[in-house]
Amino acid sequence: MINKSILQSVIKKYHLGEIEQVKWEIKDNKLEINFVAPSKIVIGKVECTDFPLEDADLAIYNTKKLDTLVGITSGDLLLELEKQNELLLKLNIKDLNYNLSYALSDPLLVPKSGKVNSPDTWEIDLQLEHDDIFNILKAKNALSEIDNMVITTTQNLDEEVVCEFVFGDEAGHNNKVTYQIQGNITKEDMKIRYNSNMLKTILTANRDAEGGILQVSKMGLMRLEFKNETITSEYYMVPQEGGVY
């Protein structure tokens, strides 16, 4: 049995509003899902321990439909696979009232996610507390119509090197919101532009996490990691085109 909220959290952490085709890899009651956004802006992995299903690779073609089906259930769920010989046909989901069937796809229809060449060192390494996640989301929502966000490294009034999240248009007289976080920062005067809508989606999907890590390399690659009791999620996001200054 698995609680509905845990299953929904797993789906939300990789779906990100746009990632539909993935493979659920289950081995020894551990679920691993590797994914890549159609826009190629983000690639990542979600893992869930204590996942109550037999060893199998499930080809999920329409994640939004699966999420809709799970959404009508409640409480603890029983997950079972329906097979014909060795061919996986359906993922059956049961609660006290509903008996749902989700049709599994051909694994060949699921795109491969690829791998990331992670740098050896990160010039920005931040511990994101729950309040930081909440405050970054507030800053983005204050300028929700603008998809631009710039991460910079600079000195604060105490001459400490800090990381600033700057939301808004880069033109001098336009509206801006800046949020500042201290951390392990080894390079000043970095300036990298990212898609703020995707960052918002990732942070929103992980608001149930105990905290997170945000790392940025001088080449522009951003890494985010979040953990709670049973779920770990990891994301690599590339900057916008021409976004490394």
Q: Which amino acid is at 2?
A: I
Report how far apart, in Å, the C-alpha atoms of 47 and of each of 20, 52, 144, 146, 160 are. Answer: 17, 13, 30, 32, 36
DSSP codes joined into one string, 144-164: TT--EEEEEEEE-TTS-EEEE
CA angle 58, 61, 65 (to 5 degrees): 105
CATH code of the domain in which 194 resides: 3.10.150.10
Q: How many domains does the chain have?
A: 2
Backbone torsions φ then ψ of 244, nearest 5 degrees: -105, 120
Domain co-membership, 98 together with 132: no
CA 44 – CA 14 distance, rounded (Å): 8
Residue 170 is predicted with a pLDDT of 66
| Average pLDDT of the segment spanning 15-21 | 96
Domain co-membership, 97 together with 17: yes
Domain co-membership, 233 together with 166: yes
CA 33 – CA 11 distance, rounded (Å): 10
CA 159 – CA 45 distance, rounded (Å): 37
pTM given for the model: 0.94
Cross-strand bridge partners of residue 94: 78, 99
User: pLDDT, tens digit, for every residue of 81-133?
Assistant: 999 988 999 999 999 999 999 999 999 999 888 889 899 999 999 999 999 99
